[in-house]
Amino acid sequence: MMHETRWVRRWMGLMLLLLAIPVMTPLPAQESDEAALTGTLHLVWGDPQQDGDPRYTVLLTDEDGVMHPLTVDARDESLVASLIRSNGQRVTVRTRTTTMPRLLAGANAGTTVPTSRELTTLVSVGNSFTTAKLTTPAWAVTARPYAVILCKFSDIATEPLPRQRYVDMYANAPGGTDAFFREASRGRLTMEGTRVFGWYTLPKPRADYTDAAGEARLSLMATDCLATADADVDFSQFGGIGTHYNSRIGCCSWGGSSTVSLDGPSRNMPFMWNMDWARSGTVAHEAGHSFGLPHSSGPYGAVYDSQWDVMSSASGGSYLNADFGRLGSQFMGAYKDRLGLIPDSAKVVLTTGRWSGVIEPHSRAAGRNPQLIVLPLASSRSNIWMTIEARQRVGTDRSIPSEGVLLATVDNGRSEPAQVVDVDGNGDTNDPGAVWTVGERYEDPVRGVVMTIDSLTANGPAITVERTRNGSGINATLARFARSGTSVAYAASDTTLRRDSVQVLATGSWAITNTAIPSWLQLFRRSGMGNGWVVYGIRPSVASLGRSVTLLQLPTPGGLSPQQFSIELGVTSATAPDAVLWSRRGQRITLNANGMASNVDTVRLQLTGSWNTATWSMTASSNIQATDGSGLTFTTRSGTGSALTRVRRALRQTAGLSIDTLQVTVTGPAVQTLLLVDTVEYVAITNTVTLGTRRGALSVSLGTPPQFDSVQVRLSNSGATWTASRRRDAQLMRASGFDGDWLIWTRPPNTVIVSIDTITVQSSDGGTARFVDTLTVRDAPVRVVLSRTGGSRTVTLGRLTAVDSVMVGILGLAGASQTWTANSGSPSLVLHRRDAFIGAATGARWNFVRFSRDLTMLAPGRYIDTIRVNLPGAPTAPALFIDTTTVTAPSVVAGDADVNGTVNAADATTVLRSLVQLPVSSRANVRTGGDANCDGMITVADAVILLQIDAGVVPATNCVGRPGS
């Protein structure tokens, strides 16, 4: 039976998060130089290494084969959606010269780029977009081999990984991209035939491939990288191209398509531009873009928030190793269908009526049950539908947030067409609110969909789906702002039009209702359809000195108060850059009242440029407290320069809404005041989850071992169980249990970053607790470290020599491009590379030294030697490994070489294998083939003689002095 409280929360969340189609509304031109271009459109997606917004660029190949790079405003969702539908087709577009910001709203919203050509309007399309089927028929096996080209900038010699690592990264082996696509497609899509070429040196230095805004010149990089490899590569034999570079440029690695004219006629080919940091997860993500797949997401306006799909979180899965990194989960069912990887026989399209049956997790091996339920939705547009799929933690899906049934809305009018349905509205797509399990019921009276999870079978969950008649509310519009407000400050002398935007989440058409707009604010877009953006500009020079505030309003159905978005402008008389800001402006979360422990969050005050040494003071309102991270709380805090502030929300015993502020006053080139607005809704529940003492915030050096932490979970209902989920990159080592059990997690400090992760603990009876775990990874001084500092072993003279190894690492970002060397002063201690038996011990970043003893040089005894590992030319002390080897004489008792109690031919074989270790003088006493007594046969007697020779004793019955023996 369904929990009533959860049903109410889910239904209300749905009413707020229903999505429809935004119309295409081009931004007004800033200049009068609009021009038209016609050619083949290549949409390319750019994905940053860390948190950030996606980028889009278009490479338009005209009739003469000239490729025109065009920027795209990422906030114009309807335009981006139109470009996705037109990708790879012949189109006509309008462009203009612009300096418009290329980022989404946020800290960089005021940043402009030098003059470039921006695509503003899609004028005409050759053919309407249909599902991009890679396979013919949809369930046939298709090999899509890629030519992987490794290219180095002419002024940078570093190779991020050896060439073999890239071969492994694309192989049909654990962590390999081919293996990922084989499993995600049930063998219907492979990268068989993929080959890796390079490294090749590009003709130009890195700076020549960088535009004035610091971003990559993708078309030039593609042209030069392919040209350097052309003599070795027949590009006509490949179905896609993946380029890798030995340094990063700008924000992103990129995936999409490009025009290739080598080894045949000019043609459109899938294409990837991977920077030096790209590993398996990034490669799989960009390969998806090269197939034409857009991003997916949750319903909250974030792109990389969903760990249900590699096209959202590319590296949300388990950690593979230092070379491969993390790998995301498989594609969502809607995208597998888009690629033609789900047979028609494995789909159910339900427009009316009821369907009951088993839905098979599409991450498992093939079976006979449906893998995807498709529900077309009633709408004025026909390209909106809902999908139902089952997910199970197996294979590359082993790190999905949980197991169960997943729902998604798919709308080709969005820049992220597939979005996970998450009805609890808490901003977390990866918690239990996004998945349905046995006994739960999903009911959507607006869309007219009811689903129940009836049972769990060996082949997957058994479900019932019904299309109801109660869908009359489909045209009702619910709209809200994705955030509550923004606060900015500029100098009065600043005459620049500062653009920014705020996203609107809506189920239909919406419009800003303000009639009076202040002179310093200009609205470029104030209406739309479905999810879209309000784009506005601020002119500081026409505003009054001091603080000005205006509210944008959205009407709410049913006569309720309108939704509001506040824009606060502070104008100073000083001439100074806008360099004072919060890492975020605030958030709205839901916490439990009635005894829940206080909730902790983290925000960063960022001071840059001429403000980086400014002094500041913070003041917290009554319901929140600020802390410096050590647990000390305060009402007012002060400091100099950028700082992390931890916000502790006070315990709340009664349900209700609490809106609090954290105010900071900064004194630098001028005086600025910023407000962080924190909105908390306290929900009264009977059953609670409380968390014990924990560290919560940790600061370590780059390259240190993974950091483990834990917290005890206490449930008010001792008969309940709990599960935990994480928002970002914490690895949960123990994520479920009973009252009193410990939640254990780890976070590997792989890069210099301040990483903030939210871990949610949910009890089976409805209680919830959340906490924020902050890991600050500092750059470490460049030095060499070893996985251990010494080892000891005992070997028998004449037997096969045992080998050992130690991992070598370099700490510090500045050491990433340096190569270490290892040496030993002992001639008997032989050093090798672990991955190649070569007579040298060198490596970059993390690698192994393998070593062994040459026993032909030793007599019985104890040997203690030192292996030194250092960075040539680096001011760092070598790392020392002490190896202790004890060499013993072999046993000659009765000739029993394998010490099994009997002397037989096996003993002769054992010693014969060791003859290569004997000194030359000893080998002279043995006839070729092991006939030690020269009687023409190899018997037990020969084994006894050989063992005596091993021990240094020359018996009278040997072959001494017999020529040719």
Model confidence at 892, in pLDDT bands (50, 70, 90)? very low
Is residue 531 predicted with pLDDT exceeding 50? yes
CA distance 503 to 481: 6
Residues 650-699 pLDDT 10s: 555 556 666 667 777 888 777 777 776 666 666 565 567 777 766 567 77
Model confidence at 348, in pLDDT bands (50, 70, 90)? very high
Does domain 479-572 match CATH 2.130.10.10?
no
Residues 422-447 pLDDT 10s: 876 667 888 887 888 888 888 776 67
Residues 201-237 pLDDT 10s: 999 999 999 987 788 999 999 999 999 999 999 999 9
Q: Which residues have a Cβ under 8 Å from the Cβ of 843 and sit 6 or more positions away?
A: 808, 819, 820, 833, 849
Q: Domain ranges for the chain, please list them.
A: 35-125, 131-276, 293-329+343-473, 479-572, 578-670, 685-780, 787-888, 893-950
CA 340 to chain CA centroid, Å, is 25
Q: 671 and 663 in contact (C-beta within 8 Å)?
A: no
Tokens 């009402």, located at residue: 635
pTM passes above 0.85: no
Residues 770-779 pLDDT 10s: 777 787 777 7
CA 710 to chain CA centroid, Å, is 24
Q: Which CATH number fits domain 685-780: 2.60.40.10, 3.40.47.10, 3.40.50.300, 3.40.190.290?
A: 2.60.40.10
Select the highest-mean-pLDDT range: 147-161, 307-321, 379-393, 837-851: 147-161
Q: Which range is least confidently modeled, 152-166, 178-192, 406-420, 885-899?
A: 885-899
Does domain 787-888 match CATH 3.40.50.300?
no
Mode of pairing for the β-strands spanning 460-467 and 449-457: antiparallel
Q: What is the pLDDT of residue 951?
A: 58
Is residue 146 predicted with pLDDT exceeding 90? yes
The CATH fold assigned to 578-670 is Immunoglobulin-like (2.60.40)
Q: What is the pLDDT of residue 964?
A: 33
Q: What is the pLDDT of residue 788?
A: 82
Is residue 245 predicted with pLDDT exceeding 50? yes
- Which one has a higher pLDDT value, 56 or 904? 56
Is residue 169 predicted with pLDDT exceeding 80? yes
Secondary structure (3-state) at 777: strand
Model confidence at 100, in pLDDT bands (50, 70, 90)? very low
Average pLDDT (317-331) is 75
Average pLDDT, the chain: 75
Find, among 673, 698, 503, the residue nearest to 605 by Cα.
673
Residues 607-637 pLDDT 10s: 766 777 888 887 776 555 554 443 445 556 7
Q: Which CATH number fits domain 35-125: 1.10.4160, 3.30.70, 2.60.40, 2.40.50?
A: 2.40.50
CA distance 161 to 181: 23
Q: 588 and 488 in contact (C-beta within 8 Å)?
A: no
Tokens 């038209």, located at residue: 36
Find, among 524, 573, 518, the residue nearest to 549 by Cα.
518
Q: What is the pLDDT of residue 687?
A: 66
Is residue 916 predicted with pLDDT exceeding 50? no
Q: 480 and 504 in contact (C-beta within 8 Å)?
A: yes
CA angle 194, 200, 202 (to 5 degrees): 125
Residues 62-96 pLDDT 10s: 888 888 898 887 777 778 888 888 888 888 888 88
Side-chain-side CA neighbours of residue 130 (13 Å): 5
Find, among 83, 74, 174, 77, the residue nearest to 125 by Cα.
83
Find, among 729, 811, 730, 707, the residue nearest to 49 by Cα.
729
Q: 948 and 955 in contact (C-beta within 8 Å)?
A: yes
Find, among 921, 798, 796, 936, the residue nearest to 861 by Cα.
796
Percentage of the chain modeled with pLDDT above 70:
68
Q: What is the pLDDT of residue 107?
A: 33
How many residues are present in the chain?
965
Select the highest-mean-pLDDT range: 73-77, 739-743, 938-942: 739-743
Is residue 709 predicted with pLDDT exceeding 90? no
Q: Which range is least confidently modeled, 33-37, 614-618, 841-845, 921-925?
A: 921-925
Quickly count: other Cβ atoms within 10 Å of residue 881's Cβ: 23
Secondary structure (3-state) at 288: helix
Residues 21-39 pLDDT 10s: 232 233 333 334 678 888 8
Q: Which range is least confidently modeled, 172-186, 473-487, 505-519, 625-639?
A: 625-639
Average pLDDT (886-895) is 62
Model confidence at 886, in pLDDT bands (50, 70, 90)? confident
Q: Token digits for 40? A: 């083949």
Q: What is the pLDDT of residue 643?
A: 73
Helices 280-290 and 177-184, axial angle in degrees (round to 10) = 60
Q: What is the pLDDT of residue 76?
A: 75
Q: What is the pLDDT of residue 275?
A: 94
Q: Which range is least confidently modeled, 244-258, 327-341, 597-611?
A: 597-611
Percentage of the chain modeled with pLDDT above 90:
18
Model confidence at 382, in pLDDT bands (50, 70, 90)? low
- Which one has a higher pLDDT value, 246 or 497? 246
Q: What is the pLDDT of residue 959?
A: 63
**35-125 and 479-572: identical CATH topology:** no
Average pLDDT (736-747) is 80
